[in-house]
């Protein structure tokens, strides 16, 4: 409290000049789960949390170039705003509250309004659309921040594809903000639209079981469910990192997207300390028993007539046969999530074993009744840490995935490799826990001899090159050195101290072009093709490969990402990830008579992981474009498809396109009811 | 002179649709039963094709159908009654068999019809507002699904409701029978040695209730807002009847205090937030934000509703099993029943006399085990033949199946019929005795000859009569 004699500079609301430091966080109230838990005495206290969202403006925003007007994607305009706009519209997301079914907009909330700032945001309210805007903003921003922290770099949304130049070629335009429509649909659904770079949330009257917890006929807003908002935001984040993962090349493709989105939403539960302590106390530390942490979308699940949450990962007995037979994306994805969750439980149990030993005085039998609050706190801390670790492992693995055609087996290998690189000493046996959980569910990568950590890691290039003759090895080293040098130079140029995301996008965009030129020019020889599975020489190329203007097989440098991480021991990993893809336009149905020219885009490519300190190529994770086996499998999948729903009978042709656009892959997916899902 | 007792199953080749004539021989004169008569919208010269078929039908039956069965209200099963009405008018019909869901005066049936009607209306209204620019492939696919309801026909033409009215009311001289699963098995009129079992559509309370809006109590029917109704309420054009406006208001998610009508928001003078992020009011100029707008995206739920409606209607299919008493063999006609319908069969039991003055219980599992003829549901699509509780329970080594599919037509509509893995399994179970409507003549017999021992292949070949307008198979009674 300042003494009246001191004169402080007046606080100017317009220019926001104030003597103090900028706040680190904006506190916003919201639901840890969804409104339904506020109606039950037991959970009402912990259901409402305060999200600590990064204070905006995060960086000075500049006018976004409009590629359709011919503005170069990396052009920088003047700064446009210095505060969090109404909406809210910030650095990463823009909430535009349009309700087409009701034909109206809702007033955008101004989170900088002093009345709102002073009270940690608007009070949770189902009846006030502005709170819905606040909630979606808070949860989306929280999810984004967690993702960025794990990945170690800023998150970028998937670019907008547009045609430019003569003759027109596809190019990428920067999308600064993910759009969020909290009341977009009148439907029990919510989805991420890759073409609109937007999250669409639905609302609907509940039709629950009469003995359930919901008011029959009350409106359920999916935008008020933490789990659903986190899940959809993650689809967008994953799309930003791996644009091609939405292509239905394999039963695992969309299932992976669903699984990953669930994993992030699930583990985010463990970042609410009150919830964590409450549930740990309730389960007496046994998180494998019935609790809210391992379930998703309570209200939604009940509202569509389930007995509980939409998806639950508690008490699911692993069934190795299920992975062989289950084709429906949610159910299939749930197998992956269950594996990860089981690994987490195993890790948690390892970490808290000593606490239970102490608390039970070595007998292993805990006293009846409630746990001591200190013990609850310690268990909660361990649970939180375990969850954070597992989530980080899952997110970091994304850099170690192939650019196309991801399978669960690939992802397992990616997790193990990413973690091995960062944490050489796995004294808590995290990697073993993960392998075991996958094994129990029958998820095996192809082409591995054993399910050991060593076998599951992606093979080091050094190991592969060592097998080749010395001339080939030398050629390969030369080619790689050339590329690595170019890469280092490029990344030096982009290593601005704190570039804006727009600038980062522009830099990476030109980095991709430079890498493309470098590879085009420098690499034409066999060993590089062999290691990467790319086909760069015309002579050995399959006939249907897409070619560039010069007649040579075309390839796209799909992404260039610097990836710097700090391990738990303080060691830093200084890597760069480059992914390259190619395309063939192949016939869909070989048995169809000529003239039936249904084709589809078959893609291949590789992810190259360079060590920037030594300029070595560490790994190459490849999906060879010339692989007949992979082509055959994809063909069969597209013909027989996701065979379990009515949708597959009637809408078989929808969503598949050899061009770049897919018609809302997530919208239909989320809509299958039990009836139409079939058996 | 009476022929050897047998039943012939004749599948007409009119195109993608069902039209089956059963003839029971062995009595003083043959007894004829027609199960469905229709072809899908979009078939070339549909009326001519159906007239052709019905004319042949008339000749084959001597202008007299003992029974006409209509399994459910889909155009590809009943269009013939409208398209060839002139010929049907000259054919005598004794009985019409329909599912209980068609019975006038049955409150449950009426509620279902009302609910389905509402859903169909909502889908149709959504389609009028769903522009061609939004997800055109999905839109086209939904329009194709709607052809089952008769959409795509010329305006003002007959509807599926008209076809059913023809059978229920216009032909009032016939006796209409509304069948329920589990009812006492009965004889086909004029035929000894056949028992008819009714397996579906399910009539159990919990099943039906799931399809209807919740009620507070049995006597007070309260119209409750369901997800479908909330969606439907937003569709009728503004300024319509009062109850539409009332429903629209009821479905708003927030108090009207919060709502800013779209045009008003986009033309606000002092605040350009909406214009900047959603684009200018129509007619004004501004940056092109069209790619991010969601004006019509909410309508695409019509796709799911259309699928759902198709599924529910298929599940109201009348499912009949004809037992040949002497041999115990069963001919199964499930219409287009989907999984939900099939699964309800296991709760149905029948009591039949066992010949020695006592009775015994028959279950659907029994009937499936003795099935020697299976009329493949829904043109061989995936969801209309239950695997574990259906096809896999058909264990007779003499199983024959007929698929009323036209793959060319299905491809035009981009439908996955027949579903290749299902076809494969059928072929295995029937040991190649699968007769497709679109196969060239003799294909099935040839395939059987290759797969079966000579005597069985010959038996099958002799039982099949393959013509250009139909193919039929004879089963001794």
* Residue A436, phi then psi, degrees to nearest 5: -65, -40
More confident residue, A162 or B35: B35
| Cα A621 to Cα A615: distance, rounded to the nearest angstrom | 17
Q: Which residues contact A309 (CB under 8 A, 6 or more apart)?
A: A295, A296, A297, A298, A301, A302
- What backbone torsions phi and psi does residue B367 show, to the nearest 5 degrees? -60, -40
Identify whether the C-beta of residue B405 lies closer than 8 Å to the C-beta of residue B438: yes
Judged against a pLDDT cut of 90, whether residue A186 lies above it is answered with yes
Give contacts of B217 with chain A, Cβ < 8 Å: none
Q: Tell me if residue A277 falls in helix, strand or coil.
A: helix
Would you place residue B217 in the very low, low, confident or very high pLDDT band (cuts 50, 70, 90)?
very low
- Judge: A105–B274 Cβ closer than 8 Å, yes or no: yes
- Cβ distance B307 to A646 less than 8 Å, yes or no, reads yes
Inter-chain touch A128–B386, beta carbons under 8 Å = no
**Which residues on chain B are in Cβ contact (under 8 Å) with A197?**
292
Residue A645: is its pLDDT beyond 70?
no
Residues of A in contact with B296 (CB under 8 A): 100
Residue-by-residue DSSP string for B437-473: TTSPTTHHHHHHHHHS-HHHHHHHHHHEEE-SSEEEE
Alpha-carbon gap: B333 to the closest alpha carbon of chain A (Å): 20
Query: What does the pLDDT read at residue A78?
Result: 53
Q: How confident is the model at residue B334 (pLDDT cuts 50, 70, 90)?
A: very high
Question: Chain B contact for A52, CB < 8 A?
Answer: no
Selecting from B277, B382, B420 the residue whose C-beta is nearest the C-beta of A94 gives B277
- Summarize pLDDT for B21-32 with one digit per residue, the tens: 999 998 899 999
- Which residues lie closer than 8 Å to A255 by C-beta, 6 or more apart? A329, A330, A332, A333, A336, A408
Bigger pLDDT: B70 vs B412? B70
Which of B416, B418, B419, B420 has the highest number of chain A CBs within 10 A, making it the mutation to test binding with A? B416
> How far apart are alpha carbons B254 and B244 in whole angstroms?
18
DSSP A15: T
Q: Which residue has the higher pLDDT, A658 or B333?
A: B333
Q: Is a pLDDT exceeding 60 seen at residue A75?
A: no
Reading the block at residue B362, the tokens are 């028959």
Asked if A127 and B420 come within 8 Å (Cβ–Cβ), the reply is no
- pLDDT, average across residues A326-344: 90
Q: Does A593 touch chain B if contact means CB atoms closer than 8 Å? A: no
Quickly state the pLDDT bin for A409 (edges 50, 70, 90).
very high
pLDDT at A660 over 50: no
Domain map (residue ranges) of chain A: 26-65+78-162+170-241, 245-458, 460-628
Question: Mean pLDDT over residues A514-534, rounded?
Answer: 83
**CB distance B234–A102 less than 8 Å?**
yes
Confidence of residue A525 (pLDDT cuts 50, 70, 90): confident
Whether A187 and chain B come into contact, CB under 8 Å, resolves to yes
The residue behind tokens 């007649």 is A551
User: By CB neighbour count within 10 A (0-12 exposed, 13-18 middle, 19+ buried), where does A673 fall?
Assistant: middle
Q: What's the pLDDT tens digit per position in A223-238?
A: 999 999 999 999 999 9
Closest Cα in chain A, distance from residue B5 (Å): 40
Nearest chain B Cα distance for residue A196, angstroms: 5
pLDDT of residue A64: 56
Reported as a single tens digit per residue, the pLDDT across B57-114 is 999 999 999 999 999 999 999 999 999 999 999 999 999 999 999 999 998 898 889 8
pLDDT band at residue A349, thresholds of 50, 70 and 90?
very high
Helix, strand and coil percent figures for chain A, each rounded to 5: 45, 20, 40
- Are A376 and A280 contacting, i.e. CB atoms less than 8 angstroms apart? yes
Q: Residue A565's Cα: distance from chain center in Å?
A: 18
Higher local confidence (pLDDT), A337 or A302: A337
Angle (CA) B391-B392-B398 rounded to 5° is 75
Please give the average per-residue pLDDT across A240-265, as a whole number.
Answer: 92
Are A664 and B300 a contacting pair at CB < 8 A? Answer: yes
A187–B227 C-beta distance less than 8 A: yes
Q: Which pLDDT score is estimated for A524?
A: 67
Cβ <8 Å between B303 and A200: no
Tokens, residue B6: 């047998």
Chain B residues with beta carbon closer than 8 angstroms to that of A65: none
Give B441's Cβ-side CA count (13 Å radius).
Answer: 9
CA atoms within 13 A on the CB side of A136: 36
Contact state of A679 with B135 under an 8 Å Cβ cutoff: no
Q: Which among B142, B145, B254, B391 is the top mutation candidate for probing chain A, defined by the most A β-carbons within 10 Å of its own β-carbon? A: B254
What is the tens place of the pLDDT at every residue in B283-315? 666 666 788 999 999 999 898 889 888 888 998
Residue range A595-607, pLDDT digits in tens? 556 778 899 999 9
Chain A, residues 214-233, CB within 8 A of chain B, namely 216-217, 219, 221
| CATH class, range A245-458 | mainly alpha
Interchain contact A639–B (C-beta under 8 A): yes
Instruction: Mark yes or no for CB contact B294/A200 under 8 Å.
Output: yes
Instruction: Say yes or no for a CB contact (<8 Å) between A105 and B251.
Output: no
Q: Cβ contact (<8 Å) for B260 and A643?
A: no
Tell me whether residues B135 and A207 touch, CB distance under 8 A: no
Q: Which residue has the tokens 């269009």?
A: B79
- Chain-wide mean pLDDT for chain A? 83
**What is the pLDDT, as a whole number, of residue B21?**
96
* A31 contacts chain B (CB < 8 A): no
Q: Which two tokens stand for residue A431?
A: 């990697």
Task: Choose among B214, B229, B381: nearest Cβ to A649.
Answer: B381
Cα–Cα dist A251/A405, whole Å: 10
| Model confidence at A6: pLDDT above 80 | no
Please state, as a whole number, how many other Cβ atoms lie within 10 Å of the Cβ of residue A606.
25
> Element (H or E) spanning A606, and its range?
strand A599-611
Strand partners, B330: B323, B371
Angle of the B301-314 helix axis to the B136-146 helix axis, nearest 10: 20
Instruction: Give the closest-approach CA distance of A640 to chain B in angstroms.
Output: 7
Distance from CA of A62 to the nearest CA of B (A): 15
Q: Are A162 and A68 in contact (CB under 8 A)?
A: yes
CB contact under 8 A, A649 and B387: no
pLDDT computed for residue A604 by the predictor: 94
Residues A105, B260: C-beta atoms closer than 8 Å: yes
Burial class (CB in 10 A: 0-12, 13-18, 19+), B461: middle
**A562 versus A70: which is more confidently predicted?**
A562
Looking at residue A415, what is its pLDDT? 96
Residues 6 or more apart whose CB falls under 8 angstroms from that of B111 comprise: B212
Provide the pLDDT for residue A16.
58
Say which CATH topology domain A26-65+78-162+170-241 has. Elastase; domain 1 (3.10.170)
CB A74 within 8 A of CB A83: no
Quote the ipTM score: 0.84
C-alpha closest to that of A193 among A241, A144, A158: A158
For residue B181, what pLDDT is reported? 93
Query: What does the pLDDT look like over A133-182, one tens digit per residue?
Result: 999 999 999 999 999 999 988 999 999 887 766 666 777 888 999 999 99
Q: Quick one: pLDDT at residue A398?
A: 96
For A86, nearest residue in chain B (alpha carbons) = B273
Closest CA to B3 of B27, B21, B31, B32: B27
pLDDT > 70 fraction of chain A, expressed in percent and rounded: 82
Is the pLDDT confidence value at B405 over 80? yes
pLDDT at A168: 66
Query: Which pLDDT value is given to residue A678?
Result: 40
Q: How far is B35 from chain A (nearest CA, A)?
A: 24
Can you tell me whether residue B434 is helix, strand or coil?
strand
Lowest mean pLDDT of A459-473, B10-24, B355-369, name the range: A459-473
Q: Can you tell me whether residue A412 is helix, strand or coil?
A: helix
Q: Is the dihedral of CA A39, A45, A46, A48 positive or negative?
A: positive
User: Which among B119, B15, B74, B20 has a CA at the least distance from the CA of B336?
Assistant: B74
Task: Find out whether B31 and B21 touch, Cβ atoms under 8 Å.
Answer: no
For residue A130, give both structure tokens: 């502005």
pLDDT tens digit sequence for B137-150:
888 889 988 988 88
Following DSSP, what letter does each residue of B221-262 receive, concatenated?
------HHHHHHHT-SPTT--HHHHHHHHHT-SS-GGGEEEH
Compute chain A's Rg from CA coordinates: 26
CB distance A195–B291 less than 8 Å?
Answer: yes
Tens of pLDDT, residue by residue over A485-515, are 888 888 877 665 456 888 888 888 888 988 9
At A669 the pLDDT is: 61
Asked if A26-65+78-162+170-241 and A245-458 have one fold, the answer is no
- Residue scoring higher pLDDT (B242 or B373): B373
pLDDT in tens, A9-66: 445 555 555 556 778 899 999 999 999 888 888 888 889 999 999 998 765 555 555 6
What DSSP element (H or E) covers B66? strand B64-69
Put simply, whether A211 touches B (Cβ < 8 Å) is no
Beta carbon pairs, A and B, within 8 Å? 199
Among A265-274, A574-583, A666-675, which is the least confidently predicted range? A666-675
Measured CA to CA in angstroms, residue B438 lies from A474, A652, B365, B407 at distances of 62, 21, 31, 7
In which band, very low, low, confident or very high, does the pLDDT at A311 lie, cut at 50, 70 and 90? confident
- Predicted TM-score of the model (pTM): 0.88
Average pLDDT, chain B: 88
Q: Which of A94, A102, A197 to mutate to test the interface with B (most CBs of B within 10 A)?
A: A102
Query: How many Å lie between the alpha carbon of B129 and the closest alpha carbon of chain A?
Result: 11
Q: Are A587 and A597 in contact (CB under 8 A)?
A: yes
Instruction: Give me the pLDDT at residue B38, please.
Output: 95
- C-alpha dist (Å) from residue A420 to A430, A449, B317, B469: 10, 19, 58, 69
* Structure confidence at residue A679 (pLDDT): 34
The pLDDT of residue A676: 45
Structure confidence at residue B465 (pLDDT) = 92
Which residues from chain B sit within 8 angstroms of residue A195, using beta carbons? 291
CB contact under 8 A, A652 and B226: no
Residues of A in contact with B310 (CB under 8 A): 646, 650
* pLDDT at residue A674, rounded to an integer: 46
CA dihedral A497, A502, A507, A512 (to 10 degrees): 140
The pLDDT of residue B168 is above 80? yes
């Amino acid at each position: 409290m300042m003494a009246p004699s001191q004169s402080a500079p007046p606080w100017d609301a317009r220019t926001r000049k104030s003597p103090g430091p900028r706040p680190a966080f904006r506190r916003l109230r919201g639901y840890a789960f969804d409104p339904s838990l506020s109606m039950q005495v037991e959970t009402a206290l912990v259901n409402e949390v305060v999200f600590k969202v990064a204070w905006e403006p995060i960086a000075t925003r500049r006018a976004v170039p409009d590629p359709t007007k011919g503005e170069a994607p990396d052009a920088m305009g003047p700064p446009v705003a210095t505060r969090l706009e109404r909406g809210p519209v910030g650095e990463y997301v823009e909430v535009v509250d349009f309700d087409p079914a009701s034909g109206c907009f809702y007033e955008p909330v101004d989170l900088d309004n002093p009345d709102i700032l002073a009270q940690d945001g608007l009070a949770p309210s189902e009846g006030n659309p502005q709170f819905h805007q606040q909630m979606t903003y808070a949860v989306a921003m929280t999810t984004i921040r967690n993702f960025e922290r794990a990945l170690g770099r800023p998150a970028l949304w998937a670019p907008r594809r547009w045609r430019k130049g003569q003759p027109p070629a596809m190019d990428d335009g920067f999308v600064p903000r993910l759009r969020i429509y909290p009341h977009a649909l009148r439907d029990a659904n919510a989805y991420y639209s890759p073409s609109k770079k937007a999250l669409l949330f639905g609302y609907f009257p509940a039709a629950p079981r009469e003995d359930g917890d919901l008011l029959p006929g009350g409106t359920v807003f999916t935008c008020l469910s933490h789990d659903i908002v986190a899940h959809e935001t993650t689809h967008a984040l994953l799309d930003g990192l791996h644009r091609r993962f939405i292509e239905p090349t394999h039963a695992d493709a969309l299932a992976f997207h669903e699984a990953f989105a669930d994993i992030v939403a699930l583990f985010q539960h463990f970042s609410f300390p009150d919830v964590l302590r409450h549930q740990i106390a309730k389960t007496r530390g046994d998180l494998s028993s019935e609790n809210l942490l391992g379930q998703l979308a309570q209200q939604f699940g009940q509202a569509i007539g389930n007995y509980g949450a939409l998806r639950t990962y508690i008490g699911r007995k692993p069934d190795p046969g299920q992975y062989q037979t289950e084709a429906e994306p949610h159910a299939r994805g749930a197998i992956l999530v269950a594996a990860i969750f089981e690994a987490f439980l195993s890790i948690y149990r390892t970490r808290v074993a000593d606490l239970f030993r102490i608390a039970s005085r070595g007998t292993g039998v805990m006293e009846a009744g409630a746990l001591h609050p200190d013990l609850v706190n310690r268990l909660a801390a361990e649970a939180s840490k375990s969850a954070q670790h597992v989530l980080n492992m899952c997110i970091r693995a994304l850099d170690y995935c192939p650019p196309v055609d991801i399978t669960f087996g690939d992802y397992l290998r990616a997790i193990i490799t990413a973690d091995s690189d960062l944490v050489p000493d796995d004294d808590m046996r995290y990697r073993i826990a993960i392998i075991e959980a996958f094994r129990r569910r029958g998820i095996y990568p192809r082409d591995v001899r054993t399910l050991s950590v060593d076998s599951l890691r992606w093979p080091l290039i050094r190991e592969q090159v060592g097998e080749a003759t010395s001339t080939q090895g030398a050629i390969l080293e030369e080619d790689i050195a050339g590329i690595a040098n170019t890469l280092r130079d490029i990344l030096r140029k982009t290593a601005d101290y704190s570039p804006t995301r727009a600038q980062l996008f522009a830099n990476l965009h030109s980095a991709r072009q430079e890498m493309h030129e470098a590879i085009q020019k420098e690499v034409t020889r066999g060993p590089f093709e062999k290691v990467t599975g790319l086909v760069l020489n015309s002579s050995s190329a399959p006939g249907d490969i897409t070619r560039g203007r010069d007649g040579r097989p075309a390839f796209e440098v799909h992404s260039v990402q610097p990836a710097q991480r700090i391990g738990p021991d303080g060691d830093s990993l200084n890597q760069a990830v480059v992914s390259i893809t190619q395309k063939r336009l192949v016939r869909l149905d070989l048995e169809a008579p000529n003239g039936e020219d249904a084709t589809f885009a078959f893609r291949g490519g590789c992810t190259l992981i360079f060590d920037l300190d030594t300029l070595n190529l560490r790994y190459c994770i490849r999906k060879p474009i010339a692989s007949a086996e992979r082509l055959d499998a994809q063909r069969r999948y597209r013909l027989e498809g996701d065979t379990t729903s009515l949708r597959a009978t009637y809408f078989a042709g929808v969503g598949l396109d050899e061009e770049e656009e897919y018609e809302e892959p997530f919208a239909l997916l989320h809509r299958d009811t039990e009836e139409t899902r079939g058996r | 002179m009476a022929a050897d007792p047998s039943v012939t199953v004749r599948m007409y080749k009119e195109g993608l649709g069902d039209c089956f004539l059963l003839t029971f021989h062995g009595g003083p004169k043959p007894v004829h039963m027609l199960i469905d008569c229709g072809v899908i919208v979009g078939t070339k010269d549909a009326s001519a094709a159906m007239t052709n078929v019905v004319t042949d039908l008339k000749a084959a039956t001597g202008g007299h159908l003992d029974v006409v069965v209509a399994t459910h209200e889909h155009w590809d099963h009943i269009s013939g009654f409208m398209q060839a009405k002139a010929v049907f008018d000259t054919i005598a019909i004794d009985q019409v068999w329909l599912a209980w869901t068609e019975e006038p005066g049955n409150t449950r049936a009426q509620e279902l019809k009302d609910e389905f009607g509402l859903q169909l209306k909502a889908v149709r209204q959504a389609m009028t507002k769903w522009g061609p620019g939004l997800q055109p492939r999905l839109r086209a696919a939904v329009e194709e699904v709607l052809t089952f309801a008769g959409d795509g026909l010329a305006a003002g033409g007959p509807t599926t409701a008209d076809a059913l009215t023809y059978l229920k009311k216009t032909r009032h001289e016939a006796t209409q029978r509304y069948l329920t699963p589990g009812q006492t098995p009965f004889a086909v009129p004029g035929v000894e040695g056949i028992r008819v079992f009714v397996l579906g559509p399910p009539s159990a309370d919990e099943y039906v209730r799931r399809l209807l809006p919740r009620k507070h109590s049995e006597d007070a029917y309260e119209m409750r807002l369901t997800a479908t109704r909330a969606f439907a309420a937003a569709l009728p054009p503004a300024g319509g009847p009062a109850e539409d406006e009332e429903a629209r208001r009821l479905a708003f998610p927030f108090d009207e205090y919060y709502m800013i009508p779209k045009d008003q928001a986009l033309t606000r003078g002092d605040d350009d937030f909406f214009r900047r992020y959603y684009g200018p009011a129509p007619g004004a100029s501004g940056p092109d934000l069209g790619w991010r707008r969601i004006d019509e995206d909410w309508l695409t739920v019509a796709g799911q509703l259309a699928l759902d409606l198709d599924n529910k209607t298929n599940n109201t299919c009348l499912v009949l099993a004809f037992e040949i008493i002497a041999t115990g063999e069963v001919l199964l006609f499930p219409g287009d029943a989907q999984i939900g319908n099939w699964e309800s069969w296991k709760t149905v039991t029948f009591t039949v006399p066992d010949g020695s003055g006592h009775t015994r219980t028959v279950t659907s599992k029994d009937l499936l085990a003795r099935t020697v003829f299976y009329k493949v549901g829904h043109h061989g699509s995936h969801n209309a033949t239950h695997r574990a509780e259906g096809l896999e329970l058909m264990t007779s080594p003499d199983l024959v199946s007929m698929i009323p599919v036209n793959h060319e037509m299905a491809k035009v509509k981009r439908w996955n019929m027949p579903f290749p893995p299902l076809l494969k399994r059928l072929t295995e179970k029937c040991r190649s005795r699968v007769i497709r409507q679109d196969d060239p003549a003799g294909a099935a017999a040839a395939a059987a000859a290759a797969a079966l021992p000579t005597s069985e292949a010959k038996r099958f070949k002799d039982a099949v009569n393959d013509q250009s307008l139909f193919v039929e198979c004879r089963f001794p009674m």
